[in-house]
Amino acid sequence: MLILAIETSCDETAVAITEDGRRVLADVVRSQADMHAIYGGVVPEIASRSHVACIGALAEMAVRKAGISKKDIDAVAVTYAPGLIGALLVGVNFAKGLALALGVPLIPVHHIRGHIAANYIAYPELEPPFVAMIVSGGNSLIADVRTYTDIRLMGATRDDAAGECFDKVARVLGLPYPGGKPLDDLAQGGDDAAFPLPRAKIEGHPYDMSFSGLKTAVVNIVHNARQRGEALDLKSLAASFAAAVSDSLVPRVIAAAEELGYDKIAVAGGVAANSRIRRDLVRAAQEAGKTLYLPPLSLCGDNAAMIGCQAYYEYLAGARADMTLNARATLDIHENAWQAAF
Ligand code: KG4
């Protein structure tokens, strides 16, 4: 089954052609990061307009790259939630138009479920059940993936997402946006115990996380040093920060797998590119006897290939949208809202 998939939930316009949930024939991603960089974060209005400007051309490009013709497409899939509402609406409306014009089904896909499916592309042998940890610029959560489409939330951040926290700390240190990678680079060779930083715990909710206190702690260290005119060991501050984020994520996902009795852990999202987090995950999974699935960096960020792969399983489970499909800025991972007419 050939699916043309569309992803426009944030600042990447992406179109892919996928086959049967596992094979990627074309994967075209246009990042807008350069446009948002001068503002230090994503500007929703600019994101929406930029999606409008290039989605048509990207869809043509994906079809061409896949070496197929439009009439070979069996279904159109689209990310409809969660994300920036204006950005999502561009993809949803484009997908509706395309599905109608081609006379094929329209498959609605939850963005975070798509991130989990990035692992099916990277690891053809991977099948549920497993525990998934998704850490990106907008989300940080741990989920129980019971089947391809029965996915339950185990815990999530109560405030900032991990990536958002990386980006804000990087901004205070004067690093470019998005700050995760530059901060990761800065941390190399730093002393990760130089700065005692908080690791938040939420009473009674072992899998929930909180990153805003950690962010504030780093910001205060930087501001206090600046006010006193003191030089800071930025390498060690970056390393201490990465260690604190990693300590907030890695033990939780291992504990979740232990509790559920699963021997597989899959990770996804842009922050999964972090070298400290990757190193800690590999070590912790090995010690706990779990198999770790860490997709390559190219599949960690937003892309439409992951949406097309999840769409196949959603389709098999009966997901079909009609022309009343609307976008949703927020939506729990286990819910669907595509049946609700607006
Ligand atoms: O999944 P993603 O590409 O986009 C969404 O948020 O949906 O994730 C982007 C996030 C940004 O916050 C970025 O700073 C962070 O992933 N990131 C990293 C690294 N590379 C990207 N954070 C920490 N270390 C990295 N190496």
Atom of ligand 1 nearest to the CA of 115: 1
CA–centroid distance, residue 211 to ligand 1 (Å): 15
Ligand 1: residues with CB < 6 A are 10, 136-138, 163, 166-167, 178-181, 184, 269-271, 273-274, 301-302
My answer on whether 161 and 270 are in the same domain is: yes
How many domains does the chain divide into? 2
Closest by Cα among 290, 218, 227, 220 to 253: 290
Residue nearest to atom 8 of ligand 1 (CA): 270
DSSP alpha helices (H): ranges in the chain?
33-37, 44-66, 85-102, 111-122, 162-172, 180-187, 212-228, 234-260, 275-288, 297-300, 305-316
Cα separation, 117 vs 313, whole angstroms: 10
Q: Identify whether the C-beta of residue 58 lies closer than 8 Å to the C-beta of residue 14.
A: yes
**Does residue 72 form part of some domain?**
yes
CATH of the domain at 83: 3.30.420.40
Residues in CB range of 235: below 8 A, 6 or more apart:
186, 187, 188, 189, 190, 191
Angle of helix 275-288 versus helix 234-260 axis, rounded to 10: 30
**Four-point Cα dihedral 139, 109, 317, 341, nearest 10:** 110
Strands of the 291-293 sheet, one edge to the other? 151-156, 140-145, 130-135, 264-268, 291-293
CA–centroid distance, residue 182 to ligand 1 (Å): 11
How far, CA to CA in Å, does 268 sit from each of 184, 218, 292?
17, 25, 11
Residues in CB range of 60: below 8 A, 6 or more apart:
none
CA–centroid distance, residue 302 to ligand 1 (Å): 9
Q: How many CB atoms lie within 10 A of CB 250?
A: 23
My answer on whether 198 and 54 are in the same domain is: no
My answer on whether 94 and 238 are in the same domain is: no
Written as tens digits, the pLDDT of the chain (342 aa) is 999 999 999 999 999 999 999 999 999 999 998 999 888 889 999 999 999 999 999 999 999 999 999 999 999 999 999 999 999 999 999 999 999 999 999 999 999 999 999 999 999 999 999 999 999 988 899 999 999 999 999 999 999 999 999 999 999 999 998 899 999 999 999 999 999 999 999 999 999 999 999 999 999 999 999 999 999 999 999 999 999 999 999 999 999 999 999 999 999 998 999 999 999 999 999 999 999 999 998 888 899 999 999 999 999 999 999 999 999 999 999 988 887 654
What is the pLDDT at residue 342?
47
Terminal-residue alpha carbon distance, the chain: 30
Concatenate the DSSP letters of all residues of 5-51 into one string. EEE-SSSEEEEEEEETTTEEEEEEEEE-HHHHHTTTS--HHHHHHHH
**Does residue 194 form part of some domain?**
yes
My answer on whether 267 and 200 are in the same domain is: yes
Closest by Cα among 14, 123, 2 to 66: 2
CA–centroid distance, residue 337 to ligand 1 (Å): 27
Residue nearest to atom 24 of ligand 1 (CA): 274
My answer on whether 12 and 94 are in the same domain is: yes
CA–centroid distance, residue 272 to ligand 1 (Å): 8
My answer on whether 204 and 329 are in the same domain is: no
Q: Identify whether the C-beta of residue 26 lies closer than 8 Å to the C-beta of residue 66.
A: yes
**Does residue 123 form part of some domain?**
no
Cα separation, 246 vs 280, whole angstroms: 7
Strand 264-268 to strand 130-135: parallel, antiparallel, or no bridges (unpaired)? Answer: parallel
Residue nearest to atom 23 of ligand 1 (CA): 180
Residue nearest to atom 13 of ligand 1 (CA): 180
Q: How many CB atoms lie within 10 A of CB 325?
A: 24
My answer on whether 139 and 90 are in the same domain is: no
CA–centroid distance, residue 301 to ligand 1 (Å): 7
My answer on whether 187 and 321 are in the same domain is: no
**Does residue 122 form part of some domain?**
no
Q: Identify whether the C-beta of residue 240 lies closer than 8 Å to the C-beta of residue 193.
A: yes
My answer on whether 97 and 147 are in the same domain is: no
My answer on whether 137 and 186 are in the same domain is: yes
Q: The domain containing residue 292 runs over which residues?
A: 128-299
Three-state DSSP at 266 gives: strand
**Does residue 120 form part of some domain?**
no
The answer to whether the Cα torsion of 313, 318, 323, 326 is positive or negative is negative
**Does residue 121 form part of some domain?**
no
**Four-point Cα dihedral 31, 34, 38, 39, nearest 10:** 0
**Does residue 181 form part of some domain?**
yes
My answer on whether 94 and 147 are in the same domain is: no
**Does residue 97 form part of some domain?**
yes
My answer on whether 294 and 311 are in the same domain is: no
